[in-house]
Amino acid sequence: MYSFKNDYSEGAHPQILKALMETNLVQEEGYGEDDYSLKAIERIKEKLGRNNMDVHLLTGGTQTNLTAISAFLRPHEAAISASTGHILGHETGAIEATGHKVLSVESKDGKLTPAGVKAVLEGHPDEHMVKPKLVYISNSTEIGSIYKKEELQQLSDFCRANQLLLYMDGARLGSALCSKENDLQLSDLPNLVDAFYIGGTKNGALLGEALVICRDSLKEDFRYHIKQKGALLAKGRLLGIQFLELFKDNLFFELAEHANRMAGLLQEALTQTNVKFLTHSPSNQIFPIFPNTLIAELEKNYAFHVWEKVDADHSAIRLVTSWATKEEEVVGFIEELKRWL
């Protein structure tokens, strides 16, 4: 049984574990004030090509989203999310638990557009309704699509013109930035969004997300929020050491490229056999549509999520690759598939 279920089935990239071993007995400050965290933050700023931003290391995506969004919003303000957005339906109401409504915009491709956001604004004209304030996007999205630079620029322009904050969930940012279709660079993001995070958990770390706060007015006292939400690790070094490894050279991007290449191999083979896909996905998650009978066969040797019923006889499944996906397993999966298609 080999799993294409997600990108967090294995531990960490061996280089990260090695760094944890080597530094293990060095005494360090607690709560993210250790040298590794400070250096990792410097390294991330270098990669961003900017110094005037705050970087904080947190443990997971839901935690980063709820800590950031609750810190950024006043009580009457709401977030706007695509209908597929992780905060909308897959975080157990974490944002609402901090007091804020999440407004949904129906989206076929997982992305938000200025038109979609504008409609929300028009539907919320006065104090009898929440005030939409923060636009939440994911890149890559929950269904594998990515934002092109032009799309993000337009959304960014719209947000600025309408006093909206733009926040990017980067749980799979590595995969997005390393996509063949991508034309965004990491260093573009501070110009386009007000805050975003660089996902480590799904790209080779044991855990860890690096939140980057670009807008000055959102920076103040942020460590208070991290502590209050239970997100400030006593041994913050655990996050620092990992991000230092990911960013001291280009490991972060190399791992994402591997994941994408593996997904690309699958996608190419499936396309050749005329398999259709639920969405256009140039990243490490793909959603092929198979006959249910085939799915039942595949499930004997492979683990994956059945994503969505398409018709009475067909369903889309989700195949996810990662830094740890073995090429021989991908080849094996393709071969097995070809026996049935």
Interaction residues for its own copies, span 48-107 (CB under 8 A): 59-67, 70-71, 74-76, 78, 89-94, 96-102
| 3-state secondary structure at position 26 | coil
207 versus 275: smaller Cβ distance to its own copies: 207
Q: For residue 8, give every residue at least 6 positions away whose Cβ sits within 8 Å of its Cβ, in sequence order, or none.
A: 201, 202, 322
Please count the residues of this chain forming the interface with its own copies, following the rule CB under 8 A: 78
Q: Which stretch binds its own copies (CB under 8 A): 23-31, 45-53, 271-279, 283-291?
A: 23-31
**CB of 150 vs its own copies, minimal distance in Å:** 32
Q: Which stretch binds its own copies (CB under 8 A): 149-157, 222-230, 293-301, 330-338?
A: 222-230
| 331: contact with its own copies by CB under 8 A | no
| 15: contact with its own copies by CB under 8 A | no
Q: Is the dihedral of CA 140, 145, 149, 151 positive or negative?
A: negative
Both tokens assigned to 22: 């080597």
Question: What are the φ and ψ backbone dihedral angles of 18, each rounded to 5 degrees?
Answer: -60, -40
| 217: contact with its own copies by CB under 8 A | no
Q: Which stretch binds its own copies (CB under 8 A): 9-17, 174-182, 269-277, 284-292?
A: 9-17
103 versus 193: smaller Cβ distance to its own copies: 103
Enumerate residues 197-216 that contact its own copies by CB under 8 A: 201-202, 206-207
| 315: contact with its own copies by CB under 8 A | no
Other Cβ atoms less than 10 A from the Cβ of 46: the count is: 13
| 28: contact with its own copies by CB under 8 A | yes
DSSP 218: G
Distance (Å, whole) CA 104 – CA 93: 13
Enumerate residues 118-137 that contact its own copies by CB under 8 A: 123, 127-131
| 324: contact with its own copies by CB under 8 A | yes
221 versus 311: smaller Cβ distance to its own copies: 221
- What's the count of helices (H) and strands (E) in the chain, helices before strands? 14, 13
Contact between residue 33 and residue 233 where contact means Cβ atoms under 8 Å apart: no
C-alpha dihedral over 303, 285, 175, 227, to 10 degrees? -70
Distance (Å, whole) CA 155 – CA 114: 5
Contact between residue 309 and residue 315 where contact means Cβ atoms under 8 Å apart: yes
* Among positions 228, 250, 271, 301, the unique one binding its own copies when judged by CB under 8 A: 228
| 309: contact with its own copies by CB under 8 A | no
